[in-house]
């Protein structure tokens, strides 16, 4: 807090116009005022004051009182004066501090007045001009003590409901994927290093770091961009499959930290927040879609009839991850969160929908042929009061979970599930999440009208059903690494393959026929192309294999004459098929998944030589 203190013969002010939206309401009698022989306290409340507002107020009151006693001043006027600082507190916090300072000084026996907050005002000042008539004070919060680490307690919960000590569980089952999670998270044991294989696969499809940006920002080539768009589309379809209304929201990626709700939410996120200073304002880059979705829904008129419903956005989000922990696709500073928030009438409805989301999350990872190992962060009271609910969740998993009991009242959630896969280096990698939020609806002013006409704050579920776009792709590439380890050819799911069918004409005279077949498939939104380059047939087949093309069709005189195609199917061998059989099989394998055009010339000879 910064204070400019003027001992004045006379001071008067008059409200001219509104300055900010979050101003205090003032009656006519307070819109102007004057005092004589008074100490005028020009005051700017700063963002850091919130760390220990009580000590700031007591320090400010003590400093003002000490000067007032020297001057013999009994009258004080507190005047909000933002120009003393370029790091202002949110308006709601500033008004709270000004009122608090007024109260502190009043308790000390002074006659205290306060000019209105949030307005442009005209004022006239007659300073006494003696040596102590002008003074400046800066009041800082007490030196922050190093926060003690939050103490948590880990237990392993079995499908039978038994709670086990993590060390004992690992001793019984040391080689399982779940034990790798327990060792890393509960026992804090160091993991072996190494360079993961998936990085080579990422770069093959055009995922790489952008060297001309901040660390942790990626660039995507044409194939990588296609994969990104397909996963974004798929995330929307998975959210829509939950059976509740889903409303897509779009908005900005930066929010003003002078808004108290934004500020308090940012404090929960901590040191990984990206911030910007623009036009004397401090902005935070969103780290998920919470800010925009909550800001929008707060302005909606909601009834119990509207709930439950969800809001959704594939939100570009920013996290200042440590440079030494950055990992392509998995840990980045700009990510894209398919963020779904579900608004529920109460905690019971929230638990029911959490079960539905939980099942959907498991269905999606199992489509990739994988299983999650899960961490359930919760409080002991919520666990003890909801054992049946936890039993229903673990039944979906079909294996033990790791419970992490956190202290009561610290977090806005009562349950936060982290879904991890265990990668080739036996490292747990969090992909998806769901949280039961019981705090942010009140913080952001979201409410609905109950059936009896009373107001209530909804329970909010936060979920990324398939994880961020980047982390879902990380999981896909890690699955390809596992295929290779199992002796299979690595590949992407068919719906994600940039080229789903490649025709390889043997001679130039076969190009038009191959192109005609490819165009027919493209007409059905199946991504097909033709390798007409002046290379040997074997080299072109090898190139298609290296590109993980799932269907490779060589076209020559025999195929043109018989209308029968010899099709190489990745990891399935070679089969003779008619065009219609090929198209029918692809339709079946792509059903339920998004489709997008390839966005590249159909002939490979016409494509630029991008890396």
pLDDT of res. 265? 72
Match 């008067």 to its residue by tokens.
12
Q: pLDDT category, 144, cuts 50, 70, 90?
A: very low
pLDDT of res. 91? 87
Residue 314's H or E segment, with its range, is: strand 309-318
Judgement on whether residues 242 and 390 belong to the same structural domain of the protein: yes
Instruction: Find the mean pLDDT for residues 113-130.
Output: 93
Which of 448, 475, 502 delimits the end of a domain? Answer: 475
Judgement on whether residues 238 and 375 belong to the same structural domain of the protein: yes
- The residues facing 578 across adjacent strands are 564
Residues 6+ apart with CB under 8 A from 289: 249, 311, 312, 313, 315, 317, 337, 339, 341
Judgement on whether residues 130 and 172 belong to the same structural domain of the protein: no
Instruction: Find the mean pLDDT for residues 345-360.
Output: 97
Judgement on whether residues 537 and 596 belong to the same structural domain of the protein: yes
Residue 507 lies in a domain: yes
Residue 456 confidence (pLDDT) above 90: yes
Residue 232's H or E segment, with its range, is: helix 222-240
What phi and psi, each to the nearest 5 degrees, are found at residue 426? 60, 35
Instruction: Find the mean pLDDT for residues 451-465.
Output: 96
Residue 552 lies in a domain: yes
Which of 424, 443, 475 delimits the end of a domain? Answer: 475
Residue 416 lies in a domain: yes
Judgement on whether residues 292 and 158 belong to the same structural domain of the protein: yes
| Residue 206: count of CB within 10 angstroms of its CB | 20
| Residue 600: count of CB within 10 angstroms of its CB | 18
Judgement on whether residues 396 and 510 belong to the same structural domain of the protein: no
Q: Where are the beta strands (DSSP E) in 334-451?
A: 334-344, 373-379, 401-406, 413-422, 428-437, 448-449
pLDDT of res. 151? 85
Comparing 52-56, 351-355, 516-520, the range with the smallest average pLDDT is 52-56
Exposure pattern of 494-521 as b/e (b: 16+ CB <10 Å)? Answer: bbbbbbbbbbbbbeeebbebbbebbeeb
Instruction: Find the mean pLDDT for residues 394-399.
Output: 95
Q: pLDDT category, 143, cuts 50, 70, 90?
A: low
Residue 372 lies in a domain: yes
Comparing 282-286, 366-370, 396-400, 474-478, the range with the smallest average pLDDT is 282-286
Range of the domain at 58: 2-138
Helix ranges restricted to H, 11-90: 53-71
Helix ranges restricted to H, 241-346: 260-269, 290-298
Report the alpha-carbon distance of residue 7 to residue 325 in Å, rounded: 55
Residue 534 belongs to domain with CATH number = 3.40.50.800
pLDDT of res. 236? 96
Residue 469 confidence (pLDDT) above 70: yes
Judgement on whether residues 375 and 410 belong to the same structural domain of the protein: yes
Report the alpha-carbon distance of residue 219 to residue 141 in Å, rounded: 43
Residue 103 belongs to domain with CATH number = 3.50.80.10
Judgement on whether residues 129 and 157 belong to the same structural domain of the protein: no
* 3-class SS of residue 315: strand
pLDDT digits (tens, 9 = 90+) for 159-212: 999 999 999 999 888 889 999 999 999 998 876 667 889 999 999 999 999 999
User: Based on the structure, what is the number of domains in the chain?
Assistant: 3
Report the alpha-carbon distance of residue 162 to residue 166 in Å, rounded: 12
Q: Considering only CA atoms, which of 514, 545, 523, 532 is closest in space to residue 597?
A: 523
423 is written with which tokens? 């990668």
Which of 408, 442, 475 delimits the end of a domain? Answer: 475
pLDDT of res. 611? 42
pLDDT of res. 145? 43
Residue 242 lies in a domain: yes
Residue 381 confidence (pLDDT) above 90: yes
Residue 327 lies in a domain: no
pLDDT of res. 288? 83
Exposure pattern of 375-407 as b/e (b: 16+ CB <10 Å)? Answer: bbbbbeebbeebeebbeebbeebeebbbbbbbe
Match 């939020």 to its residue by tokens.
437
Residue 577 confidence (pLDDT) above 90: yes
* 3-class SS of residue 163: strand
Report the alpha-carbon distance of residue 333 to residue 273 in Å, rounded: 10
Judgement on whether residues 542 and 469 belong to the same structural domain of the protein: no
Q: Residues 233, 596: contact at Cβ < 8 Å? A: yes
597 exposure class (CB count in 10 Å sphere: 0-12, 13-18, 19+): exposed
Residue 356 belongs to domain with CATH number = 3.30.930.10
Residue 263 lies in a domain: no
Instruction: Find the mean pLDDT for residues 30-48.
Output: 92
Residue 481 lies in a domain: no
What phi and psi, each to the nearest 5 degrees, are found at residue 322? -65, 140
Residue 148 confidence (pLDDT) above 60: no
């Amino acid at each position: 807090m910064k204070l400019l203190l003027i001992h004045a013969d006379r001071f008067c002010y008059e409200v001219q116009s509104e300055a900010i939206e979050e101003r205090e309401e003032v009656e006519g009698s307070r819109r102007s005022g004057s005092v004589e022989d008074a100490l005028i306290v020009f005051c700017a409340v700063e963002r850091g004051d919130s760390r220990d507002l009580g000590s700031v107020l007591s320090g400010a009151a003590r400093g003002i009182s000490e000067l007032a006693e020297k001057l013999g001043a009994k009258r004080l006027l507190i005047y909000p004066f933002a120009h003393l600082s370029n790091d202002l507190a949110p308006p709601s916090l500033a008004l709270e501090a000004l009122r608090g300072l007024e109260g502190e000084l009043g308790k000390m026996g002074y006659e205290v007045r306060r000019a209105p907050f949030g307005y442009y005002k005209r004022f006239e000042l007659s300073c006494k001009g003696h040596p102590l008539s002008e003074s400046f004070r800066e009041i800082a919060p007490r030196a922050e003590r190093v926060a003690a680490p939050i103490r948590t307690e880990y237990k392993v919960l079995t499908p039978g409901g038994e709670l086990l000590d993590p060390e004992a569980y690992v001793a019984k089952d040391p080689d399982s994927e779940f034990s790798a999670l327990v060792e890393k998270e509960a026992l804090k044991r160091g993991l072996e290093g190494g360079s993961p294989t998936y990085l080579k696969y990422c770069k093959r499809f055009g995922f790489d770091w952008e060297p001309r940006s901040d660390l942790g920002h990626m660039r995507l080539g044409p194939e990588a961009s296609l994969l990104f768009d397909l996963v974004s589309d798929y995330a929307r379809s998975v959210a829509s499959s939950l059976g509740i209304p889903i409303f897509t929201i779009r908005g900005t990626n930066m929010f003003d930290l002078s808004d108290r709700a934004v500020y308090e939410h940012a404090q929960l996120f901590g040191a990984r927040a990206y911030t910007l200073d623009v036009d004397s304002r401090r902005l935070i880059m969103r780290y998920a879609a919470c800010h925009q979705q909550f800001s929008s829904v707060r302005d909606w008129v909601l009834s119990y009839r509207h709930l439950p419903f969800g809001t959704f956005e594939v939100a570009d989000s920013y996290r200042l991850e440590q440079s030494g922990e950055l990992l392509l696709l998995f840990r980045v500073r700009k990510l894209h969160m398919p963020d779904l928030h579900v608004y529920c009438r109460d905690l019971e409805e929230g638990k029911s929908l959490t079960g539905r989301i939980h099942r959907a999350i498991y269905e999606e990872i199992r489509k990739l042929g994988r299983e999650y190992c899960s961490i359930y962060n919760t409080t002991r009271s919520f666990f003890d009061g909801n054992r049946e609910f936890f039993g229903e969740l673990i039944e979906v998993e079909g294996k033990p979970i790791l419970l992490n009991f956190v202290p009561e009242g610290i977090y806005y959630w009562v349950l936060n599930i982290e879904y991890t896969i265990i990668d080739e280096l036996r490292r747990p990698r969090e992909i998806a999440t769901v949280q039961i939020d019981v705090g942010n609806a009140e913080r952001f002013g979201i409410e609905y009208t109950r059936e009896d006409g009373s107001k209530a704050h909804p329970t909010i579920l936060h979920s990324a059903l398939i994880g961020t776009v980047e982390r879902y792709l990380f999981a896909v590439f890690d699955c390809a690494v596992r295929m290779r380890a199992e002796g299979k050819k690595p590949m992407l799911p068919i719906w994600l393959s940039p080229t789903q069918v490649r025709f390889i004409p043997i001679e130039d005279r076969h190009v038009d026929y191959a192109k005609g077949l490819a165009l027919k498939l493209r007409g059905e939104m199946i991504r097909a192309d033709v390798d007409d380059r002046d290379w040997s047939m074997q080299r072109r087949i090898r190139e298609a294999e290296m590109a993980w093309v799932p269907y490779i069709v060589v076209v020559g005189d025999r195929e043109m004459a018989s209308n029968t195609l010899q099709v190489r199917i990745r990891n399935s061998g070679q089969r003779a098929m008619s065009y219609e059989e090929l198209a029918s099989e692809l339709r079946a394998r792509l059903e339920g998944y998004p489709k997008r055009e390839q966005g590249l010339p159909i002939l490979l000879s016409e494509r630029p030589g991008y890396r």
